Amino acid sequence: MTSLAGNWVQIHNIVLRPDQRPETLPAETRAVPLELRVKGWQITGRAEIGEEIRIRTVLDREQTGTLIAVNPEYGHDFGRAIPELLAAGDEVVAMMRNTPKEG
Amino acid sequence: MTKTDYASVMARKGDIMLSSLGIDYAPFMAHPAMFDYEALMGLVPYDIDQVRQIQLRAGVGSTALIELRQITRLARKLAPKGKGARIFVKDEAANPSGSYKARRAALSLHHAEHAGFKGVVTATSGNYGAAVASQAARRNLACVVVQEVYDSHGIGQPEILEKGRACEIYGAEVAQLSVGPELFYSFLRVLEETGYFNASLYTPFAIAGVEPLGFEIVEQMRDATGTTPDVVICTHAGGGNLTGTARGLRKAGADHTQIIGASVDLTGLHMASDSDFNRKHFTTGHTGFGIPFAGWPDRTDVPRNAARVLRYMDRYLLLKQGEVFYMTEVLARLEGLERGPAGNISLAAAFALSQEMDADQTIVVQETEYAGAGKQPSAQLDFARRRGIDILRGDSESEIPGQNVIIPDEPGRIRVRDVDMTKLRRSLVKKVVAMSEPGTCGDDLVNFLAEETQMRRADVAALI
């Protein structure tokens, strides 16, 4: 995928390689790098996913990193209903229907 | 050229923090642990009326206090006759960024603006990021939020993704990191690169900003019931929520109100673990922050933490994840209020506690938070289920963090579990004594520790 200057993009950087991470970390965390993702406006004229580019963030700060996405989706949503919770809700509503209201 | 490798930046930590806070901590650093807490809080040059005025101009505070009559009825139905305290909730979701954190951000950024900073930086994966970004937008300040978002597979849980989106909508630059406490290193680098203000959650400003929340509770409870509340429950993580609220309660004259902290029990999950990261269904208000911060507050991004819960907390209660999701459902179904789960930790505690208290007593749950995509129980639990966590009905006691979430099979299952406060207090005393030079454990230190832990002076002296 080709991305052009002016696109809203996301870049990726390795902040610390595993060997640069503190020894006090749990093994599974220390086995992987510390990664950074930042979004901004692409400055580099033309780039493919995976190429190094420059961006300008919303604060006008220039940053360099690997292009990983063009206008990435937020992706999070409401999920699916949780039947166990729906049932719990139904139960308390039914309980209250049978409970007299106070003054 | 300034070195930016991990060791070099961490070695400059003290200098970076000092230049980015606009606060002189030197007078509080003479002793390794002891300092004048009230003098630290006194660095905020405003009384509570002035703080309220600053927040009013920022669109913050004066939220509604809502009586939860149906939930109280449900509690009374389960409780012995004559029991079932009235439950009220402070609807903090009505703040500009959707949580009480707007209060902390408003006063911090007021200070940053007056100290001449052009922008602010905050390290948080919680509601505070959106609060800082929102208040920065109102003041034309630049804002960078440094967040821990993804595991090593690039997966972020819905609640944290939502919090990042909220920061972006207010115009913040969001640095999204993978799991690891070295987030602090990235945060320090941004502070150095930008020269912006460190909008820490733990400055005196960030705590004084919460005081009006406690103050408003007392005013509103006097209007609603004619007196101060018997109990106020605060969801506890880093400690600022409880500390600031308690100080506000006292300033409003609520000297006899019991102050209770509540956290979700995530025992067994490691906060710095890449594989545990997405197995926590609460991203704040949990024991991973609550226990260490209660027992040792000075573990933050400021030289002295102004959030010190042992000074104020009378009880500390734990809830299971499933219990809090259950109460989030009950709040929607019985009270018509859809609010985010993290704010309902203290609601779950209130529901259980109400059943032990007399019917003419009162409990205030001191916050709600906004709900939305990513923040609903459906989003968090559907994500969990797809990743192999069992979502079951049953006995809350059988919940194992990281393996299952047990939605109570009946409301009577919800109960509170006391954290041993004596143990927390004693461990703080012992740590301070260990840090102090031999022969310097005199009356001053005893007095400091008695205030720091609400222990009797004689008990502190006996431990020393």
**Chain segment B183-220, per-residue pLDDT in tens:** 999 999 999 999 999 999 999 999 999 999 999 999 99
Tell me whether residue B3 is in a domain: no
- The number of domains in chain B is 3
Chain A residues lying within 8 Å of B77, measured CB to CB? 95-96, 99
Tell me whether residue B7 is in a domain: no
| Residue A70 at interface with chain B, using a CB cutoff of 8 Å | no
Regarding whether B245 and B190 lie in a shared domain, the answer is no
User: What is the H or E stretch that residue B375 is in?
Assistant: none
CB-neighbour burial class of residue B437 (10 A; exposed 0-12, middle 13-18, buried 19+): exposed
Give exposure, B440-458, as e/b (b: 16+ Cβ within 10 Å).
Answer: ebeeebbebbbbbbebeee
Q: Are B122 and B199 in contact (CB under 8 A)?
A: yes
Residue of B nearest to A91 (CA): B410
| Residue A48 at interface with chain B, using a CB cutoff of 8 Å | no
Chain A residues lying within 8 Å of B186, measured CB to CB? 15, 34, 36
Confidence band for B1, pLDDT divided at 50, 70 and 90? confident
Regarding whether B229 and B309 lie in a shared domain, the answer is yes
Q: How large is the average pLDDT for residues B314-319? A: 98
Interface mutation vs chain B, best among A9, A92, A102, most B CBs within 10 Å: A92
Regarding whether B170 and B191 lie in a shared domain, the answer is yes
Task: Report the percentage of chain B scoring pLDDT > 90.
Answer: 94
Q: What's the gap in Å between the CA of B235 and the closest CA on chain A?
A: 22
Evaluate if residue A103 carries a pLDDT over 70.
Answer: no
Is B182–A34 a contact, with Cβ atoms under 8 angstroms apart? Answer: yes
Regarding whether B253 and B149 lie in a shared domain, the answer is no
Domain that holds residue B333: 63-95+210-418
Confidence band for B365, pLDDT divided at 50, 70 and 90? very high
Centroid of chain to Cα A46: 25
What is the 3-state secondary structure of chain A?
Answer: CEEECCCEEEEEEEEECHHHCCCCCCHHHHCCCEEEEEEEEECCCEEECCCEEEEECCCCCEEEEEEEEECCCCCCCCCCCCHHHHHHHHHHHHHHHCCCCCC
Regarding whether B216 and B203 lie in a shared domain, the answer is no
Secondary structure class of B228 (helix, strand, coil) = coil
Q: What's the gap in Å between the CA of B455 and the closest CA on chain A?
A: 34
Contacts of B104 (CB under 8 A, 6+ apart): B128, B131, B201, B205, B206, B207, B209, B210, B240, B244
Contacts of B423 (CB under 8 A, 6+ apart): none
- The number of domains in chain A is 1
Q: Kindly indicate whether the ipTM for this predicted assembly is greater than 0.85, answering yes or no.
A: yes
User: What's B83's DSSP letter?
Assistant: B
| Residue A94 at interface with chain B, using a CB cutoff of 8 Å | no
In tens, the pLDDT along B131-162 reads: 999 999 999 999 999 999 999 999 999 999 99
Give Dmax over CA atoms of chain A in angstroms.
72
| Residue B394 at interface with chain A, using a CB cutoff of 8 Å | no
Distances (CA, A) of B12 to B16, B106, B164: 6, 28, 28
Regarding whether B358 and B244 lie in a shared domain, the answer is yes
Evaluate if residue B322 carries a pLDDT over 90.
Answer: yes
Evaluate if residue B226 carries a pLDDT over 60.
Answer: yes
Is A84–B391 a contact, with Cβ atoms under 8 angstroms apart? Answer: yes
Is B178–A102 a contact, with Cβ atoms under 8 angstroms apart? Answer: no
Tell me whether residue B56 is in a domain: no
pLDDT at B301 (0 to 100): 87
Task: Report the percentage of chain A scoring pLDDT > 90.
Answer: 93
In tens, the pLDDT along B379-408 reads: 999 999 999 999 999 999 999 999 999 999
Q: How large is the average pLDDT for residues B424-442? A: 89
Tell me whether residue A83 is in a domain: no
CA nearest neighbour of B109 among B198, B15, B49: B198
pLDDT at B291 (0 to 100): 95
| Residue A18 at interface with chain B, using a CB cutoff of 8 Å | no
Regarding whether B227 and B347 lie in a shared domain, the answer is yes
Regarding whether B406 and B315 lie in a shared domain, the answer is yes
CA nearest neighbour of B138 among B54, B20, B195: B54
Regarding whether B347 and B224 lie in a shared domain, the answer is yes
Tell me whether residue B202 is in a domain: yes
A67: which strand partners? A11
Evaluate if residue A1 carries a pLDDT over 90.
Answer: no
Domain that holds residue A70: 2-74
Q: How large is the average pLDDT for residues B34-60? A: 97
Regarding whether B333 and B256 lie in a shared domain, the answer is yes
Q: Cα torsion for B289, B293, B296, B298, to the nearest 10°?
A: 110
Chain A residues lying within 8 Å of B410, measured CB to CB? 91
Interface mutation vs chain A, best among B71, B76, B150, B333, most A CBs within 10 Å: B333
Chain A residues lying within 8 Å of B393, measured CB to CB? 84, 87-88
B261: which strand partners? B234, B316
Mean of the per-residue pLDDT values of chain B = 96
Q: How large is the average pLDDT for residues B444-454? A: 96
Q: What's the gap in Å between the CA of A38 and the closest CA on chain B?
A: 5
Is A34–B274 a contact, with Cβ atoms under 8 angstroms apart? Answer: no
Q: Which two tokens stand for residue B111?
A: 């200070």
Q: Are A38 and A10 in contact (CB under 8 A)?
A: yes
If you count residue pairs, one on A and one on B, with CB atoms under 8 Å apart, how many are there?
158
| Residue A43 at interface with chain B, using a CB cutoff of 8 Å | no
Regarding whether B353 and B381 lie in a shared domain, the answer is yes
User: What is the H or E stretch that residue B363 is in?
Assistant: strand B362-365
Confidence band for B436, pLDDT divided at 50, 70 and 90? confident
Of the three residues B188, B208, B228, the one that is the final residue of a domain is B208
| Residue A27 at interface with chain B, using a CB cutoff of 8 Å | no
Interface mutation vs chain B, best among A74, A85, A86, most B CBs within 10 Å: A85
Q: What CATH number did the domain enclosing B157 receive?
A: 3.40.50.1100
Q: What CATH number did the domain enclosing A50 receive?
A: 2.30.30
CA nearest neighbour of B135 among B190, B166, B97: B97
Facing residue for A95 by CB, picked from B5, B77, B161: B77
Residue of B nearest to A40 (CA): B173
Evaluate if residue B439 carries a pLDDT over 90.
Answer: no
Q: Could you say which residues from 58 to 87 on chain B have a Cβ atom under 8 Å away from some Cβ of chain A? A: 70, 73-74, 77
Residue of B nearest to A92 (CA): B330
| Residue A97 at interface with chain B, using a CB cutoff of 8 Å | no
CA nearest neighbour of B61 among B166, B205, B209, B224: B209
CB-neighbour burial class of residue B258 (10 A; exposed 0-12, middle 13-18, buried 19+): middle
Regarding whether B425 and B310 lie in a shared domain, the answer is no
Evaluate if residue B319 carries a pLDDT over 80.
Answer: yes
CA distance B424 to B27: 27
Tell me whether residue A89 is in a domain: no
Tell me whether residue B68 is in a domain: yes
Is B142–A59 a contact, with Cβ atoms under 8 angstroms apart? Answer: yes
Tell me whether residue A94 is in a domain: no
In tens, the pLDDT along B165-193 reads: 999 999 999 999 999 999 999 999 999 99
Evaluate if residue B345 carries a pLDDT over 80.
Answer: yes
Q: What's the gap in Å between the CA of A5 and the closest CA on chain B?
A: 19
Of the three residues B148, B183, B208, the one that is the final residue of a domain is B208
In tens, the pLDDT along B262-305 reads: 999 999 999 999 999 999 999 889 999 999 999 999 988 899 99
Tell me whether residue A53 is in a domain: yes
Is B176–A32 a contact, with Cβ atoms under 8 angstroms apart? Answer: no
Confidence band for B7, pLDDT divided at 50, 70 and 90? very high
Tell me whether residue B288 is in a domain: yes
Tell me whether residue B17 is in a domain: no
Q: How large is the average pLDDT for residues B426-452? A: 91
Q: Which two tokens stand for residue B448?
A: 């400091």
Of the three residues B186, B208, B230, the one that is the final residue of a domain is B208
Tell me whether residue A99 is in a domain: no
pLDDT at B440 (0 to 100): 75
pLDDT at A102 (0 to 100): 66
Tell me whether residue A69 is in a domain: yes
Chain A residues lying within 8 Å of B272, measured CB to CB? 25-26, 29
Tell me whether residue B144 is in a domain: yes
